[in-house]
Amino acid sequence: MHVKVEILSIFPTFYSICRSCQPLLPASGLSVIGEVLKEYPDEVRENYRRICDIAISLTNYFGDKVRIDAVDVSTPQGIWKSLRYRVKKYPTFIINGKHKITGIPSFEEIKTIIVNELK
């Protein structure tokens, strides 16, 4: 059994790089993510950083018991999920399609909900 965590937000758009080229990037001195992030407003960059921190913490704590799905609200899927869950402010975390947290929650807040869902 696993708990699904959907994160609806404005996410920076990164162009993917083939797997065989990825190891070459650090050696070349290119920082694709850093360069792309510079183009976004401070609020978007800060939210992105905080969302990543929460996602990493959840994955480290729960392992394969949690599935995280980041959904950009500017995509058709993001528009659909915003309508489905009646989301008006971003970021919003949807846990198992039942619990909605608007804003970036503390690790303890979201952990409590996930633990209860796993029972």
Q: Which domains does the chain have, with CATH numbers?
A: 3-118 (3.40.30.10)
d(CA 107, CA 14): 26
* pTM for this predicted structure: 0.81
Low-confidence winner among 7-11, 31-35, 50-54 (lowest mean pLDDT) = 31-35
In angstroms and rounded to an integer, the radius of gyration of the C-alpha atoms of the chain is 16
- Token pair 């392992």 is at which residue? 63
Q: What order do you get walking across the sheet with 66-72 strand by strand? A: 66-72, 3-9, 92-95, 99-102
Structure tokens at 16: 């993917």
Residue 32 has pLDDT above 60, yes or no: no
User: Taking the mean position of all CA atoms in its chain, how far away is CA 68?
Assistant: 7
Alpha-carbon distance 89 to 103, whole Å? 8
Choice among 26-35, 40-49, 56-65, 84-93 with the minimum mean pLDDT: 26-35
Alpha helices in the chain (DSSP H): 24-28, 32-38, 42-62, 76-84, 107-118
pLDDT band at 15, cuts 50/70/90?
low
